[in-house]
Every structure is written in structure tokens, then in C-alpha cells.
Amino acid sequence: MVVALGTVGCSDSWDDHYEAASSGSGSTLWSAISRNSNLTNFASVLKATGYDEILDGSQVFTVFAPTNDALSASEAQKYIDLYTQNKDKGLKDDDNYTLKTFIKNHIALYNTSVSSYTNDSITMMNGKYEPLNGTSIGGAAFSSTNALYSNGLLYTVNSLVPYNNNIFEQLAATEGIDSVYNFLYDYNVYEFDESQSVAGEIVDGKTVYLDSVTNLTNRMLDILGYIDREDSTYWMVSPTNDVWSNLYTQYEQYYNYDNNTSKRDSLIRVNTALSILKGTVFSMNTQASLNDSANSTNWSKMNWEYYKYLKPFAEGGVFNGTKDDTCSNGILKVATNWNIDPHNTFLRQIKVEGEATRYQKEIANANEPLVVRTVPTNNPFYGKVSSNSFAVIEPATTAAHPEVTYDIPNVLSNTPYDIYVVFAPAIAYDTLATADSRKPCKVRFTLGYNRQNGNVTTQALKAEDGGNYFYTKADVVDTVLVGSAIEIPTCSYGLDEPQCYLRIVSYVLSKETSEYQKTMRIDCIIFKPHEE
């Protein structure tokens, strides 16, 4: 912790810590700064930004004022111009470049003194942590120290206190990677904070706030990780502009929404960019040893095989060959070679559980609702059936051909999928199932999806022999490949209403009932991106 006024350590006397201010203890920090001929440039920035009034008030601060040798008049004017430009753009004080990187980087709240024993850090008004000792702050040497005034302490420094970018800021400051920053910056927005705002009267049924507090938020950082915050440590792998451009061109094809999709262009841009960026941020606060693997912030136990990278430092690993920039809240790792396989992030398997009613688009010629069976823990098939449950599709009549149609969500366009349907055996629920219920099934499959104009088209899937029918195996969990490298031209990723579906029909003729059963037991449907 820093040493605060009234808590001076060791045996040093008060006078060892605080020099007598020439203007007297009743003077304010602003009064002292404005009268110092060697602080005129710093004073001009304070006055232009309104901080003259703040440092002339009763609130207590510690100010590290750069001398005119450290801050020239022309440099001071640049800070003033930037302050005005940012204010005209509507940026709040907390996010104004001049205030954040300069003024608040030279001021801390409360009194903080130094002595020959000081070896600590101090939190500046912008939230940055700066190393502090008896002779310098952040490497900027003191030319005077511990001058006490009525509302705080004044130091002078012979160079600017360095502003250490966090990862988000470094994205903007690093040449050749601004494509990432520009995308993320577009989602900066101020949101009203009711809990911090001061409520006034209610007019026409609505609260009028005497003081409205807004905070800068970024929806994309909610998804990726808070690389703009100083209280956590992150690593981020960022593509260069060239890598970004190549990846964007490659990934854009996967998000070809049909022409009737609302906000089509926006969806394409957002999802293409997120396909590049999701899986690139790593929290060091929760990260285990990085020697064997690295879990990104998008990794979860539910989908443990995605957004996790093995041997991250080895040849071809996610961190291999990056150029590292140390930031105030971690490391920005700039990558000229992209070592993130899309099959490990967004180009992923889609699984629809057969018992999931929200995906059961239509049921025909079958008993409704579908019966759901659970695999008992003492059953030999326990752990071999997905989620240990499956749907039973029974014919409504002895002559009916029962069918069920499943919506398939989040399908990517122009992606070759291998399509599987997994059938569970009757004995996975009842080891004493009858011989008739243990017979194999004879089924056919129809794939439906939207064309570019939004109209639905269908495709009958063919068996390996070119026929329309597929035959399951009895008494096993049977994973049936019903389509290989099937490409769907339009994307439904992220849409509330899926646009792709798979219809499954049990088509057993009366003369075939001695060999096949009409009842189907659907464990799950899998759309797996095809890999050669």
C-alpha cells in the first residue's frame, strides 16, 4: 500500500515527509501550480480542461506536475486540442484522451508521501498503477517532493509519467493491427446507470434524474473478455491487418444469410469478425499452467473441446511466433501467422438431441407427444447414449409411416457437413425388450433449407448404394451417416428461427414388418464439418 497522510512509517519525523509550502498551508494545489513559473504549460492544460477548479476545491489529491522542460508549450497545446476534439465527439471525461492519458495519469486521489523507504505503487485517477519510490514515479524522476497544501500534496517531475496502455488501448496504438481495434471500438456505447444516478421528481409517470450517470460499455468485450479493465490480467492474440483481411475474406462465406434476413449485412460483418476474434483472449487470473494447454475466455465445460489449445507455445501453437507487447493489464501478442484452426473455434459440430422438444419442428403419423426414455444407470448402454436419453417415435396406427422433423440451428453456409443420425436400441431402456421392438429400422431422410431468395427447397438424402432407404443395426447404438460433405447455401447462425431441418420417416411396408419395425428411437442428430 502507498503511505498516506497521517500514517507515516518508521521513525521519520513529519518534516522529513512534508516540505513547508512557500505559499503557506492555506493555499490550494491550483494556487501553487498557477504561480509556479516552471509549471505554466501544465497549468494551461489544467485550465483548458476544467481541472483548475477541481484542484482549487476541497477534495484531496496528490499531483505529479511535469515541469516546462518535461512538457513544452506545443505539446500542451496538442493535449488541449485533443481534449476539445474528444469532447466535441461526445466522449465523457472518463474516456477523453487528454484527461485519461495525461491529466489523470499525473494525479492520484488522497495524500501520498514518499521517503527513502518507499518502494510501492500508487493508483492514479485513471485507474493505472504506477511504481512509486523515494525518487520517482513510473520512472519519471522527481525534481521536488512532498509539498503540502490545503487540499493535497504537490510533486514536480522532470519527464512525463508514462501512460501504459491496456490491451484494448494498445490495439489502437500498435501499427498494423487497427482492423481489430476499429471493429471493437464501433461497439463502444454509453449506458445509463440507474444505481449510481440521483433520482428527482416523477413527471408524467417517469423519474426525472437530477444527476444521470452513464458508463462506457462494449458489447463485444462482454463476449471476448474485458481487455479494457485494469483489475484483471489478460493475454490476447491479435492478427495483423493483413492476417485479418485474409481471414475475413475466408470466413465471410460461412455467413451468407438469405436475402430476406433482417439486418443481413450487419449479421455478416459481426459474425465474420467474431469468428476471427472469439478464442483469442485468455484470462491469466483463472488460467492454469500454460505448458500443456490454454483455455480462452470462450471455453466452457459444456463444450470443452472448443476454444482450448494444446501445446500453445510449441510449433504451430496459438502463442508460437507472436510479437509480445507488455500492457498495463497483460500482454498483447501480435500474430503474423495465424495458428488458430477454425475447427477448434466456430467451425464446429452441431448436435440436436432427439428428445429436445424445442427442435421438434413437426410430428406426423406418430403418437404425440413423443415418449422420452432415460437409460438406467445399471444398463449396459449407460454413458453410450447422448445425454442418456432418447425420443421414441411410435406409429399412430399399424398402417402409418411415423415421421419427425427436427430444426437444425446455427448452420453455416458453404460448409460441407457430414450428417449423422444416431439411433438407440430398445434394450437401452429395457433389457427385457420384446423381439419385435429390437428389430432394425428402415428409414429415409429429407433435408430442407432456404435458398438465397428465401424460398425453401428440399433434398432427399441417398444411401451409399444410391437408394432412398437406410437400414439400422439391431441392439446397438447405431450412428448412421445419412449425408457426406453436404453444403447448404444459406446461413442460419444466430437466428431465432432455424432455416434448416431434417425429416426422418420410418417407411416400413406391411410385407416388411417381419424384418423391420416402424418405431424409431432417435438419440441425436449431428452435423459435423467435413474434414478430408
Residues 369 and 313 in one domain: no
Residues 21 and 133 in one domain: yes
Q: If you average pLDDT over residues 517-531, what whole number do you get?
A: 97
Residues 308 and 396 in one domain: no
For 165-206, what is each residue's pLDDT tens digit? 999 989 988 889 989 999 998 886 655 455 555 556 676 666
For 317-353, what is each residue's pLDDT tens digit? 999 999 999 999 999 999 999 999 999 999 999 999 9
Give Cα separations from 81 to 51, 74, 85, 172, 230 (angstroms).
Answer: 15, 11, 6, 19, 27
Nearest Cα residue to 408 out of 399, 400, 417, 396: 417
Helices (H), 252-308: 264-277
Residues 511 and 478 in one domain: yes
For 438-448, what is each residue's pLDDT tens digit? 999 999 999 99
Do residues 175 and 242 touch, judged by C-beta distance below 8 A?
no
Nearest Cα residue to 148 out of 26, 310, 292: 26
Residues 296 and 374 in one domain: no
Residues 369 and 486 in one domain: yes
Residue-level pLDDT at 13: 32
Domain, as residue range, for 515:
350-529
Residues 175 and 305 in one domain: yes
What's this model's pTM, rounded to 2 decimal places? 0.79
Residues 337 and 410 in one domain: no
Report the number of distinct structural domains present in the chain.
3
Give Cα separations from 298 to 130, 266, 276, 282, 345 (angstroms).
Answer: 31, 22, 13, 9, 9
Grid cell at residue 194: 440507474
Domain boundary among 297, 319, 344: 344
For 253-278, what is each residue's pLDDT tens digit? 999 999 999 999 999 999 999 999 99
Residues 148 and 257 in one domain: no
Identify the bridge partners of residue 450 per DSSP, sorted by sequence position: 456
- Helix H or strand E encompassing 52: helix 51-54
Grid cell at residue 409: 440451428
Residue 205 lies in a domain: no
Residues 280 and 380 in one domain: no
| CATH code, domain carrying 457 | 2.60.120.260
Residues 404 and 320 in one domain: no
Residues 424 and 295 in one domain: no
